[in-house]
Amino acid sequence: MNRSTLVFAGIGAVAAAVLVFMVSGSRKPDHVVDVAVPELSATAAGGESLFIENCAACHGENAAGTASGPPLIHKYYEPSHHGDGAFHAAVMQGVRAHHWRFGNMPPVDGLEEQDVGSIIAYVREVQRANGIN
């Protein structure tokens, strides 16, 4: 091969690698779910604001999950498996990782009991709207 053929081959390889990175980097992780948000009750609407401030960085917009934390709109978190008390304990005391490989969840500082109840109301209403009962 001559030098110009090697240069073009190198440029082509770099372009292909960039394209693969761009395409794979723009896909959402497999655990991130599509979520429909219903019209929320007043309590859940307040919980949505608190969720955005305190939970969305890890659990994502509308609790759909992120690369840092699992979706709460998932069958693992249906009320018959993780009741409201489990959500409350996770927020107030933290929880050891057991369904996902994101690591342990630390407690969330600065939330009052009523705040946690509003967040749970929000998550439960969104879950029901997405077939998780």
Phi, psi of 113, rounded to the nearest 5 degrees: -50, -45
Residue 29 has pLDDT above 90, yes or no: no
Bigger pLDDT: 11 vs 53: 53
Residue 26: what pLDDT? 47
pLDDT tens figures, 37-68: 999 999 999 999 999 999 999 999 999 999 99
| 108 Ramachandran zone, left/alpha/beta (phi>0; psi -120 to 50) | beta
Local structure of 78: helix, strand or coil = coil
| Contact by Cβ (8 Å): 69, 59 | yes
pLDDT tens figures, 89-103: 999 999 999 999 999
Q: What is the CATH number of domain 42-129?
A: 1.10.760.10
pLDDT band at 3 (very low <50, low <70, confident <90, very high): low
- Counting every residue written for the chain, the total comes to 133
d(C-alpha 93, C-alpha 91), whole Å: 6
In sequence order, the 6+-apart residues with CB closer than 8 A to the CB of 110 are: 54
Longest dimension (CA), the chain: 73
Model-wide pTM > 0.95: no
Residue 31: what pLDDT? 80
Pair of tokens at residue 77: 């978190």
Sign of the torsion angle spanned by Cα atoms 25, 29, 32, 34: positive
Nearest CA to 91 among 66, 72, 67, 68?
Answer: 72
